[in-house]
Chain A
Amino acid sequence: MESSVVAKIIQEIEGYAPSKEVEHVGRVTAVGDGVVAIDGLSKAVMSEVVVFEETAGKSLSDAMASGSALYGLILNLEEDGVRAIVLGEVSRVKEGMLVKSTGKILSVPSGEESLGRVVNALGEPLDGKGPFKKPTMMPVEREAYGVMARKSVSVPLQTGVKAIDAMIPIGRGQRELIIGDRGTGKTTIAIDTIINQKSEPADKRPICIYVAIGQKESKTARIVQELKEKGAMEYTIVVNASASAPAALQFLAPYAGVAMGEYFMDKGKDVLVIYDDLSKQAVAYRQLSLLLRRPPGREAYPGDIFYLHSRLLERAARLSEEKGGGSVTALPIIETQEGDISAYIPTNVISITDGQIFMMADLFNKGLRPAIDVGNSVSRVGSAAQTKAMKGVGGSLKLELAQFRELEAFMQFAQDLDKATADRIATGQRMVEVLKQKNGAPMPVEVQVAVLFAAQTKFFADVPINKVREAEEKLRSFLDATASTTLADIKKTGLLSDESKHALTKAFEAFRGGHNELFSH
């Protein structure tokens, strides 16, 4: 052993002055399924952390080898005792074990050194990169900011997905639900949004927090790998409470995620938190509530299931300048069954959030990517969270698409169509093609504006429908090479000026001249 360590131990022993500190304790009377009944702890408070005393009766060497302390979280205050959930291995808890009160509310570590890390719902690193050196502890449960501390949402959060940024814009501080059946591309949109933040200037780039709840470890590992490959992990924290994690950790993970985000928001930074997904958190909470013997309600969920999500999502906010101007944007994900958005949890979360992006299995199966059902999707912040350039090119897009969908249904029965209707259908079909986008390929806002401007000016009218995507991809590469100054100007000013329009129109003409094979006449 190093002499400095020995000297430190000797110093500690010599300085030993026994203090008769009184600790409040209880005793475990029953344990099962992650829930512990504790007798005593009369001074405990709700959501307080307790520590199980595993060292009693063990020799010093065994106590030192027993590893980290085992914690619990009080969720029920009863007449003669309390009930708590175990934040770790339940098998370590024994009947009769002493439980000490800590007087602390559950907190998780946060700070700059959390960036690029994968942690569990308690903020403990899972990536093998070692513990945090100087973390700031943030309370997992905290009251959301009030009205006076907030300001309205006005700064866009670019997802890089054309269909969203143009028709369902998301602002910094907004809560936008992503909802749909399994395998319809909900997570893909969320991950693309994280990746797209790379195109933001470093000082304005939001910190991203991806909270995986009840997901397969393999899926989370794949996401982390993708984020690393795209260089997005450097500004991202992944909170993982996988399907194999105890229900208690799956219930806590979203709160831990937002608590980590609040550290950055309080410092005036923008944060994006993705909860993937809250349906699984609700199921974990239902499990805990039933084990805590709370009365079941609809679909066996407890009575406070709405509050579970509302108190989480209310913590998304855009703070006033006096409070630093930071923000937390929330993108909760909800999985539906057979597209039923009127089920209990979906309707709850729809009513809490500021809009929803509805992913449709039918559209997905037709090959539409992203499979967004524009009719059922909405952003209640609307154009307040769009640049003027995007407003100009995407303002009427949603209406045009809705009209096209109506005509498309009508077209199946009609034999002859008048020219105006046929034109509208042709334009709509091309617009649908233009809005298609590959997975993992988010697009900077200025490129989106240029492409949508092309569609608005009927640039794709002469392109056969099956070639629209090819034309759009080639046009983007062409613009990157030949109109970079115009694109940079759109990005910088957020405007599509007359000069920019003129420059883009000229670029389109030049493209057309060099790509005759894409145009039918």
Chain B
Amino acid sequence: MERAYARALLQLIQNGMAHADAVRTVAKVLESKGRSALMPKVARAFNRLIQRESGKITNTLFVAKEHHASRAHKESGEHDARVVVDPTLIGGWRLVKSDSLVDVSWKKHLLSIYNRIAA
């Protein structure tokens, strides 16, 4: 539901309506239907929609230790990716893009070994 409202909001803006007016229009529609509580969800959905439409989703590169970052950047080929340290990875790296994932962490590999042996 919130996705539909977010898309409607985007369409209003794309049709030339001022941002504040577009938000007010959507808020008024929601209020008239007694669904004002949906507004925060619409805002989040709108944020995701804008990121996707503009292709500005920041890719995130997870590494086990901070000093692994340069090697991870090099191996993944994603030099602009935001680096996040996740010690549970043990080693290797993990790249999360908008709708894809590359996981070459040691944790993933060790888990797959465990699952094969335990099966």
Q: Are B107 and A60 in contact (CB under 8 A)?
A: yes
Q: Are B86 and A9 in contact (CB under 8 A)?
A: no
Q: Are A26 and B117 in contact (CB under 8 A)?
A: no
Q: Are B111 and A64 in contact (CB under 8 A)?
A: yes
Contact of B113 among A13, A18, A22, A55 (CB under 8 A): A13
A293 interfacial contact with B, CB 8 Å: yes
- B residues 89-118 touching A (CB-CB < 8 Å): 90, 92, 96, 98-104, 107, 109-111, 113-114, 116-117
What is the chain A residue whose CB lies nearest that of B87?
Answer: A59
- A residues 60-97 touching B (CB-CB < 8 Å): 60, 63-64, 78-81
A contact residues around B41 at 8 Å (CB): 30
Q: Are B109 and A16 in contact (CB under 8 A)?
A: yes
Q: Mark A37-61, 1 if CB is under 8 A from B, else 0.
A: 0011111000000000001011110
Which secondary structure dominates where chain A touches chain B? mixed
Q: Are B1 and A293 in contact (CB under 8 A)?
A: yes
A12 interfacial contact with B, CB 8 Å: yes
Q: Are A23 and B117 in contact (CB under 8 A)?
A: no
Alpha-carbon separation in the docked complex, A81 to B88 (Å): 29
Q: Are B111 and A22 in contact (CB under 8 A)?
A: no
A366 interfacial contact with B, CB 8 Å: no
A21 interfacial contact with B, CB 8 Å: yes
Interface size on A, residues (CB 8 A): 36
- B residues 55-80 touching A (CB-CB < 8 Å): 75-76
What is the chain B residue whose CB lies nearest that of A18?
Answer: B104
State the Cβ distance, A207 to closest chain B Cβ, in Å.
27
Alpha-carbon separation in the docked complex, A20 to B101 (Å): 9
B contact residues around A58 at 8 Å (CB): 88
Known A60-B110, A63-B107; judge A23-B52 contact (CB<8 A).
Answer: no
State the Cβ distance, A35 to closest chain B Cβ, in Å.
13
A contact residues around B86 at 8 Å (CB): 57
Alpha-carbon separation in the docked complex, A39 to B99 (Å): 9
A contact residues around B90 at 8 Å (CB): 60
A contact residues around B3 at 8 Å (CB): 78-81
What is the chain B residue whose CB lies nearest that of A19?
Answer: B104
Q: Are A21 and B107 in contact (CB under 8 A)?
A: no
State the Cβ distance, B5 to closest chain A Cβ, in Å.
12
A272 interfacial contact with B, CB 8 Å: no
Q: Are A23 and B101 in contact (CB under 8 A)?
A: yes
Alpha-carbon separation in the docked complex, A13 to B106 (Å): 10
Max chain A C-beta neighbours (<10 A), residue from B96, B98, B101, B109: B101
A23-B103, A80-B7 given. 8 additional CB < 8 A pairs? A20-B76, A22-B101, A26-B99, A29-B44, A30-B41, A41-B99, A63-B111, A81-B3
Residues of A within 8 A of B (CB): 5, 8-9, 12-13, 16, 18-26, 29-30, 39-43, 55, 57-60, 63-64, 78-81, 98, 100, 293
**25 CB < 8 A contacts A-B:** A5-B117, A8-B117, A12-B113, A18-B92, A22-B100, A23-B100, A23-B101, A24-B99, A24-B101, A26-B99, A29-B45, A39-B48, A40-B99, A58-B88, A60-B90, A60-B111, A63-B88, A63-B107, A64-B114, A79-B3, A79-B7, A80-B45, A80-B49, A80-B52, A293-B1
